[in-house]
Amino acid sequence: MTPRLTRRAFLRTTAGGAAVLGFPLPLRAQAKTFKIGAIHPVTGALAEPGQACRLGAQMAVDAINAAGGVKSKGGLRLELILGDTQTKPENGRVEAERVVSHGAQMLLGSFDSGSTNAMVSVAQQRRVPFLIDIAAADPITANVARSVKDGQQKVQYVYRNFPTGSSFGKRAVQYFIEIFKEANVSPKRVVLMYCNDLFGQNQARGFQAAHKAANPSWDIVEVIPWPEPPTDLSTEISKAKAAKPDIIAPITRPASALLLFPEIRKQRIEMMGIVGPGSPGIYESGQIAQLKEDLEYVLTSVPWANFKNPKTSTVAEEFRKRSGGKTFDTNSGYSYDAAFVIADILERATTLDDPDAIADAMKKTNYSGGLMQYGGPVAFNELGDNANAIPTMIQILSQKPVAVWPKEAAVQKFVFPRPRA
């Protein structure tokens, strides 16, 4: 008896025959793509910076594809598979697993150190190369590098193009010393305040270690953590006020910044100014719109775009239009650069079918086309970090974040000490 040929079986056999004979099929007409899982906190307390990261990465992918894709791979186009951690660190792993199951061949993300650290295990276990666009906690890459060195894992798949907490600390102390000297002032008492999560703890340790190593003329007279996100910071600010600071040095998150700066104003602390070692919550458009004058004259050391580069200004204007008027900043800028670094990695990889070949190309990166302020090309050291990723001291002036130090990066002169009200 001749078996009945079903419609489904017919379509399978004719599709296969057509493919063998070279007949056009819808799939053959589609452009080949390389999928990247782009994971950021686009909802929850970190939504504003997370959304900026996502848009920055998408703009870069659009530009890469418009320019012909990955040329050495036949014009390969990039495609983002989007993920949202919802500002929950544990969701880093969940979202990484999800995007990989949907075909992501690389990972990109994820802004906060907690969720980024959670993504690392997926990258290493599933052999998915992971480029960190933003996340500062030193152990994220250091732990992987150590496990590879000790023979516990064969290949490092995780690399970071962003300053580490320890490098943040070193630059912040350096900039504090230089700015105080340039301003011809001699503050003596600094109060360090920080959000008590993985990021805040790492940043605070880095700043304190750098201060100890530099032994400057000013002392850290009080160290005050708070639970993140906080519900009230009046007690912490009272403690800071009692220490009679010349400088308050806060390490914030967006949610805590919304409480911290109004409380500082409310308690009328007499001091030279607020100078942050580096954190979000101070420079974002939404934060400035809410905090207004409470942020005026605040300084903070953060990675920043090189606005002396004409290309940066062009991209910043496109970002402003696509974001509804927001500033091209740390978050959008580093995610934008990360997508271009990935394109450069794919151009150089011997094959894209083997994740080890991609990881090898990552390791050998030497990319000079970034829009952020770097100390040299994007190149990864033995830990998988870019030592040339450096912060810039910015200040909120006339309700806008502008680069003010070092001199080669500055677009405007800083105002310090802050004018008395």
333-382, pLDDT tens digit by residue? 999 999 999 999 999 999 999 999 999 999 999 999 999 999 999 999 99
Q: How much is the pTM?
A: 0.88
Q: Is 35 exposed, middle or buried (0-12, 13-18, 19+ CB in 10 A)?
A: middle
30-163+308-390 belongs to CATH 3.50.50.60: no
- The pLDDT of residue 354 is 97
For residue 104, CA distances in Å to 227, 359, 399 come to: 35, 15, 40
User: Residue 36 in 3-state DSSP?
Assistant: strand
Nearest CA among 244, 242, 199, 204 for reference residue 223: 204
pLDDT at 418 over 70: yes
Residues belonging to the chain: 421
User: Residue 102 in 3-state DSSP?
Assistant: coil
pLDDT band at 10 (very low <50, low <70, confident <90, very high): very low
Q: Percent of the chain beyond pLDDT 90?
A: 92
> For the segment 167-211, what is each residue's pLDDT rounded down to a tens digit?
999 999 999 999 999 999 999 999 999 999 999 999 999 999 999
- The pLDDT of residue 420 is 85
pLDDT at 236 over 50: yes
Q: Please state the rounded mean pLDDT for residues 390-406.
A: 97
Residues of each domain in the chain carrying CATH 3.40.50.2300: 30-163+308-390, 166-302+393-405
- The pLDDT of residue 313 is 95
pLDDT at 2 over 60: no
Q: What is the CATH number of domain 166-302+393-405?
A: 3.40.50.2300
- The pLDDT of residue 294 is 97
> For the segment 273-294, what is each residue's pLDDT rounded down to a tens digit?
999 999 999 999 999 999 999 9
